[in-house]
């Protein structure tokens, strides 16, 4: 890591690392210390990501090993202006556990709307790099991302729940008198959105490019966007990549609801500019369709919002703003749901304009 064969370890300590923990049997920690190199002290730091071995065929280790394969495969060596952390060491143990020792990457300053635009541009160059050449085929890549994002459900049971929750006064006030009809249509049209995404130009996607998995840093006098957590990498439609950046940033509280319009505009414009930078010359409406159709797969969020509005005993929480009062969280979730419903309408309209619906 220090590029010094004579380096001698002086000390090291473990430093807590803030991260979104969704998977059992996982730890992500930072080690920091000093080393002696040619008689001089040098500081170093590294991130260790460890995941336990699989107990079932769908256990977290499958995702962990996919990320290890992504780093080893060479697919991430030339991905436009998007960067990945250096993988200093990868250990796939016999017990099924996976250990990644990764470059410690951190933001240089707080994110602004300009940062989101830069991130979207980098994601555009990444997706565009695989739109202008054959998409890679690896058996370990995620091939059913859209189905996973849509979260298959018992349709009739879900529709009954939507009807009951949307009929409450709280839901009507927050989402409108037609909330039930629009939420029902969104749920029923999930297979159509998935099928539509499969008909658009395909590329390689990160598929979890949320703000929490991106770093904006200054390196050699210029900005770099670094993406980590490559556990969901796989093929996807042009435009789908930035749906996660926008929706997760709103849902987790990284961007307040009153900036939704600015976020939507800056991310999409930055993404298309990135596609153009690497030579993609397709109709920008195709990318917009991929983006809006992917946002429409978040029917689960609209359902959850309806439940929270109908059940005054629920206590929804926003990850980055746990201090917010419950009523304010409901208000924000309702705003995000209106945005998602609007983008589903836009996707349907675009599919007709482009003769794909």
| pLDDT tens-place string over residues 1-60 | 888 999 999 999 998 887 666 667 888 999 999 999 999 999 999 999 999 886 555 544
pLDDT for 61 equals: 41
201-214 tens-digit pLDDT: 999 999 999 999 99
> In the block, which residue shows the tokens 């990644």?
100
SS3 content of the chain, % helix, strand, coil (to 5): 45, 20, 35
| Cβ atoms of 228 and 213 closer than 8 Å | yes
CATH 3.30.70 fits 113-353, yes or no: no
Residue 306: both structure tokens together: 């309806």
- Token reading at 175: 């989402």
Report the pLDDT value the prediction gives residue 57, as an integer from 0 to 100: 52
State how far the Cα of 285 lies from the Cα of 145, in Å rounded to an integer.
22
> Mean pLDDT throughout 69-98?
93
Cβ pair 102, 88 in contact under 8 A? yes
Picking from 217, 176, 237, 174, the residue whose alpha carbon sits closest to that of residue 83 is: 217
Contact assessment for residue 126 and residue 271, using Cβ atoms and an 8 Å cutoff = no
Residue predicted with more confidence, 26 or 122 = 122
Cβ partners under 8 Å of residue 109, min gap 6: 216
For the chain, helix (H) and strand (E) counts, in that order, are: 12, 10
Local structure of 215: helix, strand or coil = strand
The pLDDT tens digits for 235-271 are 999 999 999 999 999 999 999 999 999 999 999 999 9
φ, ψ of residue 28 in degrees (nearest 5): -130, 115
- Work out the pLDDT band at 331, boundaries 50, 70, 90: very high
Q: Which regions of the chain carry the CATH code 3.90.1200? A: 113-353
Prediction pTM value: 0.93
Q: What's the confidence (pLDDT) of residue 58? A: 52
pLDDT band per the 50, 70, 90 thresholds, residue 322: confident
Instruction: Count the Cβ atoms, other than its own, within 10 Å of residue 152.
Output: 9
Report which secondary-structure segment, H or E, holds 15. Answer: strand 8-15
Given the structure tokens 């979890």, which residue do they identify? 208
The b-or-e profile of 184-211 (16+ CB within 10 A means b, else e) is bebbebbeebbebbeebbbbbbbbbbbb
- Indicate if the pLDDT at residue 278 is higher than 90: yes
Percent pLDDT > 70 in the chain is 96
Chosen CATH of 8-103 out of 1.10.3470, 3.30.43, 3.30.200, 3.40.50: 3.30.200
For residues 75-94, one letter each, b for 16 or more C-beta atoms within 10 angstroms of the residue's C-beta and e for the rest, the string is bbeebbbbbbbebeebeeee
pLDDT tier for residue 136 given thresholds of 50, 70 and 90: confident
Cα 100 to the chain's mean position, in Å?
20
């Amino acid at each position: 890591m220090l590029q010094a064969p004579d380096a001698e370890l002086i000390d090291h300590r473990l430093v807590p690392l803030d991260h979104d923990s969704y998977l059992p049997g996982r730890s992500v920690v930072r080690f920091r210390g000093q080393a002696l190199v040619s008689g001089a002290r040098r500081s170093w730091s590294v991130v260790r990501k460890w995941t336990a071995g699989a107990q079932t065929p769908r256990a977290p280790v499958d995702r962990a090993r996919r990320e290890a394969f992504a780093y080893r495969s060479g697919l991430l060596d030339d991905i436009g202006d998007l960067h990945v952390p250096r993988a200093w060491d990868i250990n796939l143990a016999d017990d099924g556990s996976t250990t990644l020792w990764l470059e410690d990457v951190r933001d240089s300053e707080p994110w602004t709307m300009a940062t989101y635009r830069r991130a979207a541009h980098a994601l555009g160059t990444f997706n565009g790099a695989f739109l202008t050449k054959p998409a890679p085929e690896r058996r370990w890549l995620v091939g059913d991302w859209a189905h996973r994002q849509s979260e298959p459900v018992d349709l009739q049971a879900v529709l009954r729940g939507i009807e009951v929750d949307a009929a409450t006064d709280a839901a009507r006030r927050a989402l409108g008198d037609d909330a039930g009809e629009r939420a029902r249509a969104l749920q029923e049209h999930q297979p159509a959105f998935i099928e539509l995404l499969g008909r658009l130009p395909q590329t390689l996607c990160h598929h979890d490019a949320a703000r929490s998995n991106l770093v904006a840093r200054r390196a050699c006098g210029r900005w770099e966007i670094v993406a980590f957590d490559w556990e969901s990498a796989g093929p996807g439609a042009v435009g789908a990549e930035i749906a996660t950046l926008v929706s997760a940033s709103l849902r987790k509280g990284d961007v307040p609801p009153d900036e939704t319009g600015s976020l939507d505009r800056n991310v999409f414009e930055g993404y298309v500019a990135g596609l153009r930078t690497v030579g993609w010359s397709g109709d920008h409406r195709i990318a917009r369709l991929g983006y809006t159709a992917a946002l429409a797969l978040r029917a689960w969020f609209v359902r959850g919002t309806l439940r929270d509005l109908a059940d005054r005993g629920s206590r929804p929480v926003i990850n980055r703003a746990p201090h917010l009062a419950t009523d304010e969280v409901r208000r924000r979730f309702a705003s995000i749901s209106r945005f998602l419903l609007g983008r589903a309408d836009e996707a349907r309209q675009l599919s007709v304009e482009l003769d794909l619906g």
